Structure 1
């Protein structure tokens, strides 16, 4: 993995068609649970919008911590695990003073002036974002920071956003962290994840539409074949909506009951009709209620 890559700390588990098929699901109680899950996600998102001042502008998709370059073989496994666990330390004092302002620039020319956080604050966010146990890892030592710009996906397409870039002791890899202040970036806190906190549904990965249309096309990983073939699945979708966002639920229509199938996935799409045009609203996946990348075609 080379160049500028974004860390994925939580992997969504796609429900692939076929294994233990039960006909045309989800339905009944299962679909009601997904609708409630979607309403809960909208509540979390609405709160995130309020926390950011009530207006939607910069809504990043994915992790705010990035990595430039590849870990060297000699220390790569330790460094990778240390970063995932948030085991980073400052070898020297990082500046705590905030710069005045920066600018987010979208590929379509749209811009937004944003307040920035200091290198010290962004570094603390890298550590706080860590998860998992890596008590035996050697911590990563940050030796310096500089302001740069990184490309990040948002709910309005790719954008160049201000970020702090950190050099590390003993490696050529550098870390980045988006420098936009929380007051100007809508960041959603997902629900707890794990076997004891199940979140059903098939998570969409991206969406395509226009701000003036009530129809969205969504992309996800599903069964390779259509429902007319053994182990195949057809897909439809419905939306649960709020003033700030749309959660898309993908519904499976499987070929038959009781088929034993492989777990190979393939890119699939479905369309969903909204109650009103999308406007400036975000599109969320149903498993954790996180924003997905949106391509605005007009």
Structure 2
């Protein structure tokens, strides 16, 4: 199945990530240029699906806590001005006040479909430092305090309510939320990555009905754009990214991004969403 890009090239992706609905950043492999329903693409996707379906890794994936959605939830109506938007895009924060401790405490992840998992809580300071990574002299957002609460995000087992640190931001009525528990340890995939190329998938969000995934697909300045193929089984969904066509003339080294919507034959459910190039679950 071939699915073509359906929007113009996307720039400033990092700064806008928090505002994009249903986004998965997917950089197509420069050296892995099979396209459409090419047999090589299909063979690799089938290899990945066959290795994962029924595997111990897949069982562990379904038992653990593996977020596939944003671990950050912005305040309602964010942002109030361009400066605050720029500050968040650059991850520029300042701390004014004390942050609470949660030493030795545990939190419980609760799935809408049933079941729960108890995990150690992250300290508020650790959570703050995870999001406050900026260091330039531009605009800043000011954190004035934090308390423990909850948030909902997408996981490998469907939507879940997770413990979250609720950071109070100066000038905002609602908090910035950040998940307060770390994901389960990474799994060892049952299949090796392909020898050529590199595929990097990030920022996964699935449509509420589970029937589509929208991605940002990378391509170059001298091609006709990205293609995302999908192979579905009863236990997995394998995505393959590539580019099609060539254009005459000088080429730049720019990475261009376009939105691509991948339609599924049925809701994703608890099937594992996989990257055909790496053979790993999408982070």
Band of TM-score, shorter chain: 0.5 to 0.7
Residues 24-44 of structure 1: per-residue CA shift (max 9 Å, x gap):
824155667x659969xx9xx
Residues 187-213 of structure 1: per-residue CA shift (max 9 Å, x gap):
79xxxxxxxx86499x996599xxxxx
Residues 205-227 of structure 1: per-residue CA shift (max 9 Å, x gap):
6599xxxxxxxx963459xxxxx
- Give the secondary structure class of the aligned counterpart of 2:74: strand
The correspondence of residues 1-298 of structure 1 with structure 2, limited to 5 A, is 7=18, 12=25, 25-28=36-39, 56-71=63-78, 73=80, 76-98=81-103, 100-128=105-133, 135=136, 137-180=138-181, 182=182, 185-186=184-185, 199=199, 206=206, 219-220=212-213, 237=231, 246=236, 248-249=238-239, 268-270=263-265, 282-286=272-276, 291=282
- Matched length: 218
RMSD: 5.1
Structure 1 position 124, deviation (Å): 0.9
Residues 223-248 of structure 1: per-residue CA shift (max 9 Å, x gap):
xxxxxxxxxx9x76267xxxxx9560
- Give the secondary structure class of the aligned counterpart of 2:158: coil
Give the aligned partner of residue 190 of structure 2.
none
**Alpha-carbon separation, structure 2, partners of 1:268 and 1:174:** 34
**Alpha-carbon separation, structure 1, partners of 2:147 and 2:88:** 19
By relative contact order (CA 8 Å, sep 6+), the higher-ranking structure is: 2
- Give the secondary structure class of the aligned counterpart of 2:25: coil
TM-score, scaled relative to structure 1:
0.53
In the alignment, structure 1 segments of 5+ residues that lack a partner are 1-5, 16-23, 189-196, 209-216, 223-232, 240-244, 272-277, 293-298
In the alignment, structure 2 segments of 5+ residues that lack a partner are 1-16, 29-34, 188-196, 216-226, 247-257
- Give the secondary structure class of the aligned counterpart of 2:264: strand
- Give the secondary structure class of the aligned counterpart of 2:164: strand
Conserved? CA contact 1:12–1:287, under 8 Å: no
Structure 1 position 135, deviation (Å): 3.5
**Alpha-carbon separation, structure 2, partners of 1:79 and 1:279:** 36
Conserved? CA contact 1:96–1:121, under 8 Å: no
